[in-house]
Chain A
Amino acid sequence: MKLLGEIDEVMTTDVLVVGGGGAGLRAAIGAAEKGASTLLICKGLTAKSGASLLAGADLTLDGRSLHELGFPGEPRDTKDKFFNDIVTQGFYLNNQKLVELYVEDAPKRVKELLEWGIKVNFSEQRAIFTSGSSILSALLKRAKEVGVGTMDDVMLIDLLTKHGRVSGVLALNIRTGDLIVFRSKSVVLATGGWHKAYSPNAGSRELSGDGIAAAYRAGAEVANMEFVTFCCNVLLWPPKWQGIIFPYLLHLLVGGRLVNSRGEDFLNKYDPTIVKFGTSMEWNKCFVSIATALEVLAGRGSPHGGVYYEPGDVPWEEFESRVTKYYPSWRYKGIDFSELRGMLKEGKPIEVGPAAEYFEGGIVINEKCETTIPGLYAAGECAVSLFGANRIAAATTEMLVEGAIAGESAAEYAKRVVMPEIDEKQVERLREKVLRPLEREDGTRPVELMKKVQKMAHEKLGPVRKHDNMEEFVRFIEVVKEKELPNLCVSSKTRRYNKEWIEALELENIVQVLELSAKSALMRTESRGVHYRLDHPYTDNDNWLREIVMRRVGDKIDVITRPVVVTKLPPTRGVVPYMEMMKRMMEAHSEIGGHH
């Protein structure tokens, strides 16, 4: 096609899905089942990338529905109880319309996955445990059955828009360096979180917020960007294990003890109720990460910025038999942890700490998973989370629920509209910008800037926050935007699998989402969920039951706040000390057991 002279390839489809993890695959299935021609592009290998692949993986739904699916579940559970638990765990910052959808649709999504052949390892009252790869293989098989086309190693560069609606995307074939225009009636973004903005992080390497940044640049609303979940007890050392969450799972499922550099069981100084919920449920990501970061800040941390995990008082034989019940032969995913077994048995220090793992903030969606741009849909972690300020239930179910809705909505939309025209000027501007790091002779090296940004993000925008640090971080990001991003230069000028070039492109997105996150975090003068501020250590339900929503207008960020969407459960009022609020939210939990 001669339409776009300098572009290597143009492809046309009704619905384009960006992202090859669970949300993207489920969206593609939903669109194809509605009869839309559907193409999915994945930055890595489809069904073998994204946070979905690394998920535990649990699927959460109310216990009664689980019981009806043939598992023990918990017949006394109700959808209302599950709804209430999700909203209180989210410190009332949830969009309750989306929580209703989640509670209603989760059983349908789990049922179909069982039909599509996922392997269930074990179940609880409200959850079944499988693996990320099992979910993804089942979804990929189904996607192929319904005629979804997939392309691997293709990175989103930017959304294309014309007359205020989406007309497709510009993307990069990472293998060849070719630029591809995908012309489509609608686009579903399912690009996941922005783990790579932090070091350490618990994600796979491609998660750099590409979709959120692109949506923001295109003028879509994004919200709740200040909320970042740090998984606790993530391995910090040695290098090959950095970012792997295995001790988090051991601490939650098997037990053990966390000590600081003085050998103190530092969780002991907290309220026993908080410790109980905060170590036996996924509340630990919120509570233990904050407690660990406070130890490190007080100078009682380990050399790599964490604390130590040990088997504790459990006799070794019992500890090991519990571990191997879940992880036979100490094998976790593709990793042989027999070396870690030896270290634990011999009492060698194992450094663990908080690592960025889940992003509550993202692109604003409604109950149809529509964004604020016509033709653009979002699902999964790149969309604003229905879990509000703190996620306890499974993101793997969220991705399926939203994926299905987004795919169907995108297909319905595609039926109503004609194929949009491509704005050639926009494509040309983008093409020039993308190629610039290859053309510069001298400048900032992407790897150096990446390391600097990741380190600063962890230090200044980590689990424990305060005004001065965040202000310093915002200034840092502004300098990076002004002086370093426009000056990135790569050493090899080839377009063929050029890692440095990919990182230069990712940095644009990482810096963009960090700017939004830091500015939101500065603005939210309270502590709520995973956003904990030393200078505002209380939850302000009188002023801050509001979302911070950001949108690009020219070069400026247009910021508004708006009240959270409430349907059934009116939020609590008053200003409450943060730990007291956390305790109340924990105690609000129904009698239903398990880790969620």
Chain B
Amino acid sequence: MSQRKVKVKVFRFDPLVEREPRYVTYEVPIVEGMSVLDVLDYIYENIDSSIAYYAHAACRHGICGGCKVVVNGKLCLACQTPVSGDMTIEPPSSFKVIRDIVSMMSEDAGGRV
């Protein structure tokens, strides 16, 4: 299994303290059979633990929909999207951003963010 690296550009934004979003680029070593969620896990575990992505209750089976993100402009589930090369990861634009690429997926916390 060849160890190659990809550049992952991630949308970062804390609407409470920042005026506008920024992008941070991480270099992530890739093994065969990694999903976008695995890449985000890698960043969280090894490079930058401050990154927010919906993972605390991810089902990893493509059903809960919690890990919905936009990768290279396309809406997808992070857990079911294979990594092919360099990428940009952003929150789904139609939802209100909570922090970084986590956005409001349901109105069920009393509609409050």
A interface residues, Cβ below 8 angstroms from B? 43-46, 48-49, 53-54, 133, 150-155, 173-176, 178, 204-206, 237-241, 243-244, 332-336, 445-447, 451, 490-492, 494, 496-500, 502-503
Contact = CB atoms under 8 A, between A and B. Distances in A.
Q: Taking each of B51, B59, B62, which has the highest tally of chain A beta carbons within 10 Å of its own beta carbon?
A: B59
Contact of B16 (A46, A244, A494): A494
A491 B50 contact: yes
Contacts of B102: 175, 497
A555 B11 CA distance: 45
Contact of B64 (A45, A178, A335): A45
Contact of B57 (A49, A150, A445): A49
Interface of B: 14, 16-17, 31-35, 37-38, 44-45, 48-66, 77, 79-80, 82, 98-100, 102, 104-106, 108-110, 112-113
Given A44-B64, A49-B59, A239-B38, A334 B80 contact: yes
Given A491-B50, A500-B49, A152 B61 contact: no
A150 B110 CA distance: 8
Contacts, number: 147
B64 A204 contact: yes
A491 B45 CA distance: 12
A328 B55 CA distance: 29
B55 A205 contact: yes
- Lowest 10 A-B CB distances belong to which pairs? A334-B62, A238-B33, A44-B57, A492-B50, A206-B57, A240-B35, A152-B108, A48-B64, A333-B61, A204-B59
Nearest to A492: B50
Given A151-B108, A152-B105, 17 more contacts: A45-B105, A45-B106, A49-B64, A49-B66, A53-B63, A152-B108, A175-B102, A176-B113, A204-B57, A204-B61, A205-B55, A205-B59, A237-B33, A243-B60, A446-B49, A496-B14, A500-B50
Nearest to A205: B58
Chain B contact residues: over half helix, strand or loop, or mixed? loop
Contact of B66 (A45, A54, A446): A45
Contact of A491 (B17, B49, B99): B49
Contacts of A175: 98, 102, 104, 109, 112-113
B66 A48 contact: yes
Contact of A333 (B62, B105, B108): B62
Contacts of A173: 109, 112
A446 B63 CA distance: 27
A46 B106 CA distance: 10
A499 B58 contact: no
A43 B32 contact: no
A499 B56 contact: yes
A240 B99 contact: no
A502 B50 CA distance: 12
A205 B16 contact: no
B109 A153 contact: yes
B109 A154 contact: yes
Given A152-B109, A173-B109, A502 B56 contact: yes
A45 B57 contact: yes
